[in-house]
């Protein structure tokens, strides 16, 4: 995923490429693998663009998400996270550090499922919760649930 890829999508949806949007997209592309939250991206963008506000970052992410340019993951117990990978994949979510990684699997045979059932799939969400390699280091036998 490149900045150009998102700029093209933005234009295709009739959205203007403002300086702020560009800065947010650049930060997003650089950190996309982390599934960044608005707050996290705000901290990143602020390094280069002092005047940016958190609400601008929120608003822009919502806008991009509403237009299907990026994907927002809503959570009950933690901040919403965002990603550019709109293809079906599994999320490995660390309960300790809230790290979210993608895992690609051939399991998602959505075309086949649609063909068999006539159901049109517009969204998929698969999550495995547990502990990432970093956080499981201090894994005590059976203590963590
Ligand atoms: Zn972790
Ligand atoms: Zn993902």
pLDDT tens-digit series, residues 64-89:
999 999 999 999 889 999 999 878 88
Residues with CB under 5 A from ligand 2 (ion): 83, 102
Contact present, 6 and 25 (Cβ < 8 Å): yes
Residue 3 — φ and ψ, nearest 5°?
A: -60, -40
Q: Which ligand is nearest to the CA of 83?
A: 2
Question: Measured in angstroms, how far is the CA atom of residue 78 from the centroid of ligand 1?
Answer: 14
Judged by its nearest atom, the ligand closest to the C-alpha of residue 93 is: 1
Query: Closest-lying ligand to the alpha carbon of 97?
Result: 1
Q: Does residue 22 lie within any of the structural domains?
A: yes
- Residue 144 domain flag: no
| Ligand 1 centroid – CA 14 distance (Å) | 39
- Based on the structure, what is the number of domains in the chain? 2
Domain hosting residue 30, numbered range = 3-82
Compute the average pLDDT of residues 109-134.
Answer: 90
pLDDT, mean of residues 47-59: 95
Encoding tokens for residue 15?
A: 């959205």
Structure tokens at 78: 């933690």
Ligand with minimal distance to 90 CA: 2
The H-or-E segment that residue 90 falls in is strand 90-94
pLDDT, average across residues 10-24: 94
Q: Are the CB atoms for 32 and 85 separated by under 8 Å?
A: yes
In a domain, 42, yes or no: yes
73 plus 93 within the same structural domain: no
Residue 131's SS3 state is coil
Q: What is the CATH number for 122?
A: 3.30.1490.190
What pLDDT is stored for residue 22 in this prediction?
A: 96
Where residue 71 sits, what CATH number does that domain have?
A: 1.10.10.10
- Mean pLDDT (the chain) is 90
Is the domain of 48 the same as that of 76?
yes
- Name the pTM for this structure: 0.83
Query: Do 104 and 78 have their domain in common?
Result: no
CA–centroid distance, 71 to ligand 2, in Å, is 9
Q: Which of 54, 82, 110 is the last residue of a domain?
A: 82
Residue % of the chain over a pLDDT of 70? 94
Instruction: State the pLDDT at residue 79.
Output: 94
- Cβ neighbours of residue 52 under 8 Å, at least 6 residues apart? 20, 23, 24, 42, 45, 46
Same-domain status, 69 and 92: no
């Amino acid at each position: 995923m490149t900045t150009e890829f998102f700029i093209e999508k933005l234009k295709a949806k009739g959205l203007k490429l403002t300086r702020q949007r560009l800065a947010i997209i650049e930060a997003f592309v650089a950190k996309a693998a982390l599934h960044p939250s608005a707050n996290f991206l705000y901290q990143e963008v602020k390094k280069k663009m002092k005047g940016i506000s958190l609400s601008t970052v929120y608003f822009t992410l919502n806008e991009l998400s509403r237009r299907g340019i990026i994907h927002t993951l809503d959570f009950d117990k933690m901040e919403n996270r965002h990603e550019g990978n709109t293809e079906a994949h599994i999320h490995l979510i660390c309960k300790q550090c809230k790290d979210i990684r993608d895992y690609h699997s051939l399991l998602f045979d959505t075309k086949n499922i649609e063909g068999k059932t006539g159901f049109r799939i517009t969204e998929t969400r698969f999550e495995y919760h547990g502990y990432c390699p970093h956080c499981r280091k201090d894994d005590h036998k059976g203590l963590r649930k």
